[in-house]
């Protein structure tokens, strides 16, 4: 016998779910396995033509208490727990006339389904399996001698290995099966504990959430926080597949939030969507809308070469390219070569998308010396209804934020004299879905189907409005003729050009900084004056603004007015709502209340 292989000579089969038993039983019989069984399982096996030894003939005791006691007997558990490497164990079995059992096939009473069906306490209690978990745990503990099969979906692989080995299973297989068995009994016990606690102490709750290891992370939030890993909730697949590279902690935080954002944008507006994430907030997000000649020049792209998906990415990255340096990218659709060519030369940590064309994948795999993180998002993934976050040893549980942002929601309650037109609805949807995935407090300005300024994580809402407003002003100024016509020296890299333009627009350089800045140009440019910036900004109107919570004072509207805001959406619900509405009417802004707060932490 090959090392680690154990031939299955005796198997105990006792299952509630009899799916596949008509295939399993005959297959075991073909390998000469003696099958022990109980009750309904024995009847099903005999119907399939399989010779069966009744468990009560082994234990010399009949089934008792309406089937509650069947397998709880030393003749069964001695055969399961005997260590085949221990001579004393084998001697005791021989002295007591107990034969070893090499395999247990048992799936448990459907307790969770019974609870979910709404049946009463007595019915649920009757579906708490005792003998099954006991056998499963005994077999799993002794996995170097015994195989344990706990689900019909394992039958095919187990039988295939037995066919290949002449009726044996490897130690690796038995240990993997044991791990799954202990996971199942742990899940089962947790479900029972949660139900009993709810029934007896309604004001308390027990979490039955378990996790399945997904893979190792490079490290946690910081390099010294290692080892680190990620896992999926038991019963749910991961929402992504690693195609290339190894993720880090912040990579996945960005990827998972960004993936949700672009999926929601695509669903709400039926347009290709993209996002540029940095430190768990979007630096930019957008849907595919045409670029003006000025904006195309500012973004340094030729629109004629861009697919719709590439166009969405250009807008997302172009919102705040200073912040997007080293970002994580999310694409709602399949990444084509046009999009990959744009990404090829950007400084970025990774990407998540629904798929990748072969040529695009080869381009992306070459980034970062082959270490560029590429994740394929699962479009069919359904997340658990609740989510858990652990902080300092305390687990916080809440229902996942499933609020659906649509044009109808944004336009459902307009509270000002002015109404919201169609393009503004699109931009308000973009801004609102963006703030849903931005660290709170947060506001987002949008125009032309893209984010143009994000204010994230500020304790004061008006500071969010001011911070994002400064980004809006910078975004606008990037299309000023003076900025577009800056004459850089040959060889100045793109990110250096981006940084230099922002420094030029901000006009707040130290003397030393300005000396190094001037070295980037063939001709040192004349300053962009504050008056020129203001005059240029005044020509931009119809900006949309969304807030993740209500505006507590009118100062938010006063500040927003400085940046061309004409349309506002917010949850409403402040004692100052009337004052805020009056401020919007004074500025000729349209504002709607969604009634939906979107804090994100």
The DSSP output letter for 405 is P
Q: Please answer whether residues 437 and 260 qualify as being in contact, where contact means their C-beta atoms are separated by less than 8 angstroms.
A: yes
Length of the chain: 601
CB burial string 198-226: b at 16+ within 10 A, e below: eeeeeeeeeebbeeeebeebbeeeeeeee
The whole-angstrom separation of Cα 106 and Cα 111 is 14
Question: Two tokens at 260?
Answer: 């949700």
Q: Crossing angle for the helix pair 155-165 and 171-200, nearest 10 degrees?
A: 160
CA distance 50 to 217: 49
Residues facing 26 on adjacent strands: none
Q: Which of the following is catalytic: 31, 141, 365, 368?
A: 141
Residues 6+ apart with CB under 8 A from 480: 505, 528, 532, 533, 536
User: Is the CB of residue 21 less than 8 Å from the CB of residue 44?
Assistant: yes
* Per-residue tokens: 563: 């940046």
> By C-alpha distance, which of 37, 45, 63 is closest to 72?
63
The reply to whether 141 belongs to the active site is yes
| Cβ contacts of 295 within 8 Å, gap of 6 or more | 318, 448, 479
Question: What's the CA gap between 99 and 119, in Å, rounded?
Answer: 41
Kindly name the residue from 7, 77, 89, 279 that is annotated as catalytic. 279
Q: Which two tokens stand for residue 105?
A: 């096939």
| φ, ψ for residue 593, nearest 5 deg | -105, 130
Residue with tokens 């900025």: 483
For the question of residue 421 being annotated catalytic, the response is no
Tokens describing residue 50: 């399989």
**Which residues on neighbouring strands pair with residue 334, listed in sequence order?**
355
Catalytic residue annotation: 141, 279
């Amino acid at each position: 016998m090959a090392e680690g292989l154990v031939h299955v000579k005796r198997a105990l089969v006792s299952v509630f779910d009899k799916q596949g038993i008509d295939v399993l039983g005959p297959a075991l019989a073909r390998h000469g396995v003696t099958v022990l069984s109980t009750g309904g399982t024995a009847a099903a096996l005999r119907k399939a033509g399989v010779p069966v030894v009744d468990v009560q003939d082994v234990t010399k005791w009949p089934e008792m208490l309406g089937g509650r006691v069947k397998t709880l007997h030393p003749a069964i558990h001695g055969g399961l727990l005997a260590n085949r490497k221990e001579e004393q164990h084998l001697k005791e079995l021989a002295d007591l006339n107990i034969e070893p059992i090499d395999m247990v096939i048992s799936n448990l009473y459907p307790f969770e389904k019974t609870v979910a069906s709404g049946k009463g306490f007595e019915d649920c209690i009757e579906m708490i399996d005792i003998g099954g978990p006991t056998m499963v745990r005994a077999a799993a503990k002794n996995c170097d001698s015994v195989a344990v099969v706990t689900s019909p979906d394992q039958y095919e692989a187990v039988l295939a290995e037995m066919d290949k080995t002449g009726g044996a299973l490897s130690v690796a297989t038995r240990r993997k099966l044991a791990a799954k068995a202990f996971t199942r009994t742990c899940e089962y016990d947790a479900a029972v504990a949660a139900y009993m606690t709810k029934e007896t102490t309604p004001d308390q709750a027990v979490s039955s959430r378990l996790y399945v290891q997904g893979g190792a992370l490079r490290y946690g939030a910081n390099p010294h926080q290692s080892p680190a890993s990620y896992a999926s909730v038991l019963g749910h697949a991961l929402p992504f597949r690693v195609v290339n590279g190894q993720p880090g902690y912040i990579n996945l935080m960005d990827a998972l939030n960004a993936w949700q954002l672009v999926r929601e944008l695509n669903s709400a507006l039926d347009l290709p969507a993209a996002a540029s994430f940095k430190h768990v907030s979007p630096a930019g997000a957008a849907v595919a809308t045409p670029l003006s000649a000025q904006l195309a020049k500012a973004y340094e792209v030729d629109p004629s070469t861009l697919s719709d998906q590439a166009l969405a990415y250009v807008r997302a990255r172009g919102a705040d390219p200073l912040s997007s340096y080293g970002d994580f990218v999310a694409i709602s659709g399949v990444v084509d070569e046009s999009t990959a060519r744009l990404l090829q030369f950007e400084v970025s940590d990774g990407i998540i998308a629904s798929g990748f064309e072969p040529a695009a994948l080869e381009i992306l795999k070459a980034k970062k010396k082959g270490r560029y993180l590429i994740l394929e998002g699962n479009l069919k993934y359904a997340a658990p209804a609740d989510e858990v976050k652990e902080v300092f040893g305390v687990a916080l549980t809440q229902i996942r934020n499933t609020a659906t942002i649509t044009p109808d929601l944004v336009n459902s309650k307009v509270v000002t004299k002015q109404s919201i037109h169609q393009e503004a609805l699109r931009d308000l949807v973009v801004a609102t879905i963006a703030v849903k995935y931005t660290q709170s407090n947060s506001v987002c300005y949008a125009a032309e189907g893209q984010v143009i300024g994000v204010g994230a994580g500020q304790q004061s809402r008006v500071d969010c409005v001011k911070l994002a407003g400064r980004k809006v002003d910078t975004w606008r100024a990037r299309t000023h003729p003076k900025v577009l016509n800056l004459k850089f020296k040959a060889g100045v890299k793109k990110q250096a050009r981006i940084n230099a333009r922002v420094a030029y627009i901000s006009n707040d350089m130290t003397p030393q900084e300005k000396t190094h800045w001037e070295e980037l140009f063939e001709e040192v440019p004349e300053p962009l004056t504050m008056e020129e910036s203001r005059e240029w900004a005044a020509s931009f109107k119809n900006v949309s603004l969304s807030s993740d919570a209500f505006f507590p004072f009118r100062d938010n509207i006063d500040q927003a007015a400085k940046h061309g805001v004409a349309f506002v959406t917010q949850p409403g619900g402040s004692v100052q709502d009337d004052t805020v509405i009056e401020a919007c009417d004074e500025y000729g802004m349209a504002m709607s209340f969604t009634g939906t707060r979107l804090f994100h932490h």
